[in-house]
A and B are shown apart, each in its own frame.
Chain A
Amino acid sequence: MSEEEKKMIGFKCKKCSRINYPKRARCLSCKGMEFEEVELGKECELVTYTQVYNPPAGYKGDPPLMLGIVKFPNGVLAMGQLAIDHPKDLKLGVKLRPVWGMLREIGGKEVFGFKFELAKKEQTSKLKLGGIEMEEYRGKKVEMEVMGKDVNWKEVMKPYPPRKIVLPNGEEMIVRSQTKDEIEEVVEALLPKTVQHKQLFDLIASEMVTEFYLWREGRPMWGCPAESHFNLVGRVGDEIVGVSNGALSSPEVGNSLHTVAIREGQQVGAQLWGCKLEHYFDVLGIKELHAAAESYRGGTELFQTFGFEEHPDKVVHFGTSPMQRLTKRQWERIRPGKIAGKRI
C-alpha cells in the first residue's frame, strides 16, 4: 500500500460496537476481544491543541511541536501532531485530515505515524523571499551581501517600539532601543558581568563592551556596517537589568550578536531574545537571522527550541557553535510563544 493510501484504522468491538483507538487486548467498555477494523475517517475536527515550545529530545521537526486531539465523525477521538505551518490556522473546530509521516526519533530510529493537516491545505500562506518560495529557498546556497555598502541605513534602521513585560516577581521591565548617548551607562551596568566567570558571562559581556565601543567609533563589526548596529535595553525603573545587541549585513539579513541578563533568575534573557527577534523581523523587516552561540546552553538548547537550522556556508568568529539561521517563516511559527507583555 502506498503512503497516500494508508488509512487510520480503529478497532470496533464486535460485542458492544465501541470503536477503540488505539487497539487494546480487550475492549475498554465491555472486555470484548473480537474487533473489526474500521476506517476512522478522511476528515476530523480539532477539539483541543497546544504548541509545545520545549519539545522532547528526539523531535526533529521545527518548533513549536503542534499537538492536538481530533474528533472523527463517528465520535472517535485521537491525539496526534498537527502538520500546520502557520499558527493562524490553529483554531478549535478547524477541519483536518490524517496524513502519514515521520513523527520523531527514538534511540536514533525514525518513528512514523499519522499526523493531521488542514483539510483545505491551500489556506496556508506561503512566504516568499526575493520571488523564491521559502520551501525552494531553504538549504540553497545564497550569496549574501556582506557589507551593505549601497544601503541607505537611515531608512532601514528604526527604533524598537517600547514594550512592557512583567517579570515573574511582579517588577515591570521596559524594553526599548538604546541611543549612542547611553553607551557609557550600559557599559557600566555590564562591567560586573565581565568578571563573572561562569557560563561564559565574562567572555560575552566583554565582547558586548567591545561592540558598543566599535559602534561609538563608527566602525563596522562582524561584517556589518556600524550604521546597522542596534541595542535593546531592559530596565526596571532606572536599573538596567539586561541588554541585547545586533546588527544587519543587509536589509534582509540580520546578524544576531549577544544577549546578557544582568538580573538573573527572572527570565530577562529569554524575554530580551524575544524582543530582539521581534525587532529584527517585525520592525526592521529582515528575511533571515544569522546567529552563533558562545555558551554551551545557547548552542544546544536555545537554537533547537527556536527552530534555527545550520547555515551551510558562513564562518563563525571565535570558533563557537556552527552558524545558525532562523527564517522568517520559522519566526512566524514561534512568534506567539516568544513575545510577552504589551506595547507602551
Chain B
Amino acid sequence: MTKFARPLPGSLMDIASEASLKAIENAGAGDRDFDAVYFASMACGEFAHQTAAATALVDELALIPAPTHRIENGPASGASAIRDAFFGIASGMYDLVLVTGAEKMSTVPGAVATDLISTMLHHEAEYLHGATLPSFAAMLTRLYMKRYGLTENQLAAVAVKNHENGSKNPYAQLSHKKCTIEGVKDSIMIADPIRMYHCCPVSDGGASLVICSAEKARELGIKKPLIKIAGLGQATDAHTLQEREDPAVLKSVQLASQQAFKMAGLEPKDIDVAEVHDAFEILEIVESEDAGFFPKGEGGKAAEEGKTALDGELPINPSGGLKSRGHALGATGLAQAVELVWQLRGEAGERQVKDAKNAYALNFGGFGDNSVVTVLRRMD
C-alpha cells in the first residue's frame, strides 16, 4: 500500500499503480500476466474527474488484455472487490487476480468532500436535508449514550488507542500525532457531540492485494506464510437510519459477521486481531459489540480497560484504523486487509500483535446499511 496522506503527491493513477506494483512485487509476480484486475474506488469520477479508471490502471500496469472493471460499494468498495475476486477464483474462472483500491480526495475543499461523501445517504430522506456522515455518527452517539451510558472518556479512549497504534505505523496519515483523553474531549466540535478527534481524516491513498488459488500460490513459489480468505460475509439494512429495527444496533454487522464466522468455522473468540470501520470512534465501539467480540453496551468499557489495545485480549485496529491510518474510501477495505496480512505473517514491526493466526476485517459501505466482513487465516 501507499502511505495515506492529505494530500499525497501524484494523480489517482500514480497512487493506484504504486500500491499495485508493491503488491505484485511482494507476491513475486512481477513477470506474470493476471487473469483479471479489480479496481475499487468509491468516487474517482467525482474527486479525481476520472472514469473507466480500471481500464486506465490495467494500461498503466501493462497488464493488457486482463479483464477489469471498477467496483463501487461506497466506502466498502475495497472489501467488496476482495469478495468479488474471491468469487472469480472460487468459480474456477481465474487463478491469479490483482485487487487494488485507490482514492484521491484532496482535490476538493472540505465542504465539497463532505457533500460528495453525503451522497451515499438516502437521497430523498437524508441527503436532500443536508445530512452528513458526521451528523449520523452524532445522532447515533446520542442514542447510544442515553441507552448504554457510554461516557465521554470511553469514547475518547478509542481515539487515544488508535492514534497510539497509528504512531507505530509508517503508512498512517496521522502517524505524527498522538492524543490524550482530555485533548480529545477539548478538540473542536464537528457535529455535537462528535469532535474532530472522534472523526477520521479525509485521505488520499491506495492499497493492493494479489489473490490467487492455492495451486497458483505453490507455482509462484511464495516463501512467506500464505494467508487464506477463510470467511466472507455481507449484509444490508434499511438505508435510512431511523427505519432500522433498532437504530442503535448495527444489524448488518451482526449478520455479515455471523456468515463470515460460519464459513470460516470460527467464533468471535477465535479472532486474534481485528480491523474495523472506525470512520467515527463510536462505530468501533458499536461494531465490536455487533461483531460478537463484546456484549451489547460494553464496547466502550472494553476500550477504556485496554482490552482492544495492542497487548489486550483482542487488539482492534493495530494499523491505527480509519482514525489514524486514514480513510481513502475505496482503498480502505484493502488497507485493512493489507494490515491483517502483515499481522498474520508477523511483519507488522512495532505494532505486531503476538501470534496472530485468525484475523477479522469489517468495512462499511454506508452508515451501517451495508457491511462487508472478511476473515483471514494464516496457513501453517
- Set of chain A residues within 8 Å of B180, measured between Cβ atoms: 166, 168-170
Instruction: Assess the B241–A69 pair: CB atoms within 8 A.
Output: yes
Q: How far is the CB of A107 from chain B (nearest CB, A)?
A: 11
Chain B residue numbers with a CB within 8 Å of A245 are none
Q: Let me know if A81 and B129 touch, CB within 8 A.
A: yes
Question: A48-B142, A77-B242 given as contacts; is B111 within 8 A of A55 (CB)?
Answer: yes
Contacting residue for B132 out of A55, A115, A265, A301, CB 8 A: A55
- Contact among A22, A69, A78, A336 for B192, CB-based, below 8 A: A336
Residue B124 is within 8 A (CB to CB) of chain A in the complex: yes
| Contact across chains for B183 and A168 when beta carbons are under 8 A apart | yes
Give the Cβ gap from A270 to chain B, nearest Cβ, in Å. 5
Find out whether the CB atom of A53 lies under 8 angstroms from the CB atom of B189. yes
Q: Is the CB of A170 within 8 A of B130?
A: no
State which of B139, B178, B187 has its C-beta within 8 Å of the C-beta of A48: B139
- Report whether B183 and A50 are in contact in the complex, using a CB–CB cutoff of 8 Å: no
The answer to whether A300 touches B188, judged by C-beta atoms less than 8 angstroms apart, is no
For the complex, what is the distance from the CA of A321 to the CA of B234, rounded to whole Å? 50
Structural contact, A50 and B128, CB atoms closer than 8 A: no
Q: B142's closest neighbor in chain A, by CB?
A: A48
Is the CB–CB distance between B109 and A301 below 8 Å? Answer: yes
Size of chain A's interface in residues, with CB distance under 8 A?
Answer: 54
Number of B interface residues in the complex (CB < 8 A):
49
- Majority secondary structure of chain A interface residues (helix, strand, loop or mixed): mixed
Please state if A167 and B111 are interface contacts (CB–CB under 8 Å).
no
- A-B contact number at CB 8 A: 162
If A54-B111, A56-B115, A92-B146 touch, whether A340 touches B138 (CB-CB below 8 Å) is no
Q: Is the CB of B128 within 8 A of A111?
A: yes
Interface check B168, CB cutoff 8 A: no
Q: Tell whether B114 is near chain A: CB-to-CB under 8 Å.
A: yes
Contact pattern, B 167-191, Cβ under 8 Å of A = 1, otherwise 0: 0000000000111101111111111
User: Are the C-beta atoms of A54 and B114 separated by less than 8 Å?
Assistant: yes
Contact A167 B183 (CB under 8 A): yes
The answer to whether B135 has its CB under 8 Å from any CB of chain A is yes
Q: Could you tell me if B132 and A51 are in contact, using CB atoms closer than 8 angstroms?
A: no
A58 touches B115 (CB 8 A): yes
The residue that A340 contacts in the complex, of B109, B186, B238, with Cβ under 8 A, is: B186
Partner of B125, one of A22, A49, A56, A81: A22
* Assembled-state Cα–Cα distance A111/B143 (Å): 29
B135 proximity list for chain A (CB < 8 A): 50, 52, 65, 67
The reply to whether B178 and A169 form a contact with Cβ atoms under 8 Å apart is: yes
B128 touches A300 (CB 8 A): no
The yes or no answer to B247 lying at the interface (CB within 8 A) is yes
Asked if B109 and A56 sit within 8 Å, CB to CB, the answer is no
Residue pair B124, A22 in contact (C-beta under 8 Å): yes
